[in-house]
Structures are given as structure tokens and as C-alpha cells.
Amino acid sequence: MLKAYLSVPLWQRVLAGLVLGGLFGVLAPATAQLVGKPIGDAYGALIRMIVTPLLFVSIVVSVGALRHSAGAARLGVRTLGWYVITASLAAIVGIGFALVLEPGHSVTGLALAEVKPKQIPGFVEVLVGLIPANPVKAFADGNVLQILVLALIVGGVLAGMGEAGDRLRGVFEDANKLVMRVVRIVLQVTPFGTFGLIAAVVGKFGLDVLAPLGDFIIAMYLACAFHIIVVYGGLVKIHGLPLRSYFRGIWPVFQHGFVTSSSYATLPETQRTLTDRLGVPSDYASFAAPLGATMKMDACGAIYPAIAAIFFAQYTGVQLDMAGYLAIFLAATLGTLATAGVPGPAVVSLTLTLNAVGLPLEYIGYIIAVDRVVDMMRTGTNVVGQATVPVLVAAEEKILDRKAFADTRPPVGVVAASAGRIGQKRAG
């Protein structure tokens, strides 16, 4: 039975869990919440168990490997540059869909729920908070940003030790192989976690909650779908890569992000997809994927605040001029990068955007009831972007294994063996 289960592609099993969980939530909402929540919570705990060691070990190994590359700094700059470009495009998509669909004009009688204002840390506070004063506490608290900084420091020191650090680097490489084996085992239970998470969500949110904000939800889902298919797909096409292979390869990442509503929970799948399915060298993928999970959030930081701000203006009758739309664009674009490592980035980005156009923060209470439903699509879009940018950068740097990308199903480890090619451009 186990052999038959494992013979089915993982994405198909996850899709089955998604459909069955949704049906369970519709047909027996109370039971679905009772049964689905503990299953989903257990799966979430498993994911959190592996994220921090995966993050730390993989970055230490990848930074250590980058010492052989004169183009490591260039890779980092290109990656950040594409973050800004795609964030700007996401803000434009959000504004465009809000203006075309006008979700706030067809709504009446929304209840204003109480929302606790988000504490947005200052720039200096954020910088100080990056330093892991107590590394053990950083791991215990799951402070991903501090773990990221610690891993960069350790990896950088190892890279500078030359031959003296080879033995210790070998230990980290073996630890990375161990962690990846655990990751692959945990990913096999994703269909059950998917079933529990979706059953609990669908059981909790009935039509009575979703119907009043249906136009807002539809606008969000359509804008995110457009961003994935047209914007990301268009950029992939411009780089000369086959779209069919791209969408087939990226589908498992979207599934995990949609179900878990967490970029960090999707990180193992993102990293596995980049190396095993999309042809990105493992040393660069191990660096780019965690960085993206920390600060690459096109939907949470740009599409969502842009649509929500215009939705509030339309609903309350506030007339926005060109300066207002420009303020939304700038705040939404910068919000994707300015909220790196801050809990609840979507609400923080929305807070920044509302402040930029002078709308009351209390308006967030109008849409808070459906935030979990919207968050699934937001996160699905985020993680697709987190996997797409490394593909674009790898293609530009001529380190992408285009054959593996076209196949989308190379054997595990084939692409990993290509580590060390970073910065060494192929002839032609």
C-alpha cells in the first residue's frame, strides 16, 4: 500500500488532499474543524521542525561554495534587482485590477471588526534586531532572519578559511544531506497535512462570511493569477525558457504555499523544486530560496495592499487622484522589501499603504474576516515569485541547466551535482 502511495506523483497526492479536504469542509463543517485542525497543526509542527536546520545548514554550505566564484556578489545584486522589478510590476497589477473590477463599489453594509494596530519597527530597530545576540534563542524562537544572518556569518568565515576549513565544511555538507533526507520524508505527509488544513479552513469559513466580500476576494485571486501566469510567465518566456516546463515545475511550490499560507513552511519544497525540477544550481538555490522566503512577497507586500487600499477608497467614497495612486504604487513596491522579517507582512504593508494615502487604519477591519482565505492565494503567489527570480538570474548568468528545466523531472541530485558552476559562464 505504501509503495502504491509513493508511486503517485506528490503534486497529485497534494491535489487530492486539497479536493477531499475542501469537500469535507463543505459537507461537514463542524466535524471538519474538529478533525482537520489537529492534523493541520501536526503537519505545521513538522514543517517548523525542519525549516530552521534546513535554513542554517543550507546557507552555510552555499556561502562556503560561493567562495570559488568571482560572480557571487553579482548574483546577489541581480537577485535583489529582480525583487524590485517584480515588486513594481506586482503593484501595477494590483492597482490595475482594483480600478478595472472596482470591488468596493458593489459592496454594502460591511461590518467593521476591531483590529489591533501593528507595531512597525523603525529602521534602526530592524537592523539591531538582525543580530542574533543569543543564537540558541534565535533557533528556539524560530527567528528566521537572525538564523539567516548567523548562517551568512558562519558560511563567510568558513569560505575565508581556505583549506583549513575543508574538514568543517565537509561536516556541514554531510549535515545538509541529512537534513534534505528528512525534508523529503516530511514532504511525503504533505497530502495529509493539506487535507487537514483545507478542511479546517473551509469548515470555518462558510458562504455567510465569504459572500459580502466576494468581489474583493475575486479581485485578489484574479490579480494574483494574472501576476503568476502573465508577469512571471512572460519574464520566463523572455529569457527563452519553455512555459510548459516552467508551470509544470512551479506547480508543487504553488500548492504548498496555497495550502500552508507560509513561505517558510514552503521553503523545503521551493528549494527542492529549484534544484531538482528547474535546473538551478544547488549552491545558488540554497542561498536564494531562504532569502526570497524572507523578503520576496509580491502578493502580500504589493498586490494585496494596492487592491485593499483602493477597495477602501471605493467603498467609503474617497476620491483618489493621480498623486494618491502614485503613493499607493510607491508604498506597495517598497512594502515588499521594507517588511522583511516582520511578522504579519501583509498587514504591515497595508498599514504603510493606508498611511501613504491618508486612509484610516481601522478600515482593515472591513476585510479581516476573510484574511485567511485571501492569504492562501497571496502566499501561493509569493512562493512562485521566490522560485521564479532564481530561475531568471540563473538563466542570465548562464548557470541554469536548461535540459533539466525542460525535463522538469530530472532524478534527484542531478542538478545538485552541478554546484560550483556559479560565476563560470558557459561558452556562447
Whether the CB-CB separation of 401 and 418 falls below 8 Å is answered with yes
d(CA 29, CA 397): 50
Please tell me the predicted confidence (pLDDT) of residue 53: 86
Residue-level pLDDT at 44: 81
Mean pLDDT of successive 10-residue segments in the chain (428 residues)? 77 84 87 89 83 82 64 80 93 95 82 61 69 87 80 82 75 84 82 87 73 88 96 96 93 89 85 90 85 87 92 90 91 72 70 86 83 89 95 92 74 39 42
CATH number (domain holding residue 341): 1.10.3860.10
Phi/psi at 342 (nearest 5 deg)?
-85, 130
Question: For residue 420, what pLDDT is reported?
Answer: 43
Cα–Cα distance for residue pair 295/62, rounded to 1 Å: 18
Phi, psi of 392 (to 5 degrees): -60, -45
pLDDT computed for residue 367 by the predictor: 85
Q: Please tell me the distance from the alpha carbon of residue 166 to that of residue 164, in angstroms, as a whole number.
A: 6
Residue 2 domain-assigned? no
In a domain, 277, yes or no: yes
Residue 240 lies in a domain: yes
Specify whether the CB–CB gap between 386 and 79 falls below 8 A: no
152: in domain: yes
Give a yes or no: residue 92 inside a domain: yes
Distances in Å between the Cα of 426 and the Cα atoms of 112, 399, 421 are: 58, 7, 9
Domain that holds residue 24: 11-418
Q: How far is CA 294 from CA 55, 182, 254, 263, 290, in A?
A: 11, 22, 17, 8, 6
Structural domain count of the chain: 1
Q: What does the alpha-carbon distance between residue 347 and residue 339 come to, in Å, rounded to a whole number?
A: 10
Angle among Cα 65, 78, 293 to the nearest 5 degrees reads: 75
pLDDT of 199 reads 87
Query: How far is Cα 29 from Cα 209, in angstroms, rounded to an integer?
Result: 13
pLDDT of residue 68: 54
Torsion of CA 281, 287, 293, 299, to 10 degrees: -60
Residue 67 C-beta-side C-alpha neighbours within 13 Å: 20
- Where residue 279 falls (left for φ over 0; alpha for ψ -120 to 50; beta otherwise) is left
Give residue 269's identity as a one-letter amino acid code. E
Residue 422 confidence (pLDDT): 45
Alpha-carbon distance 186 to 269, whole Å? 10
Distance in angstroms (rounded) separating the CA atoms of residues 205 and 188: 28
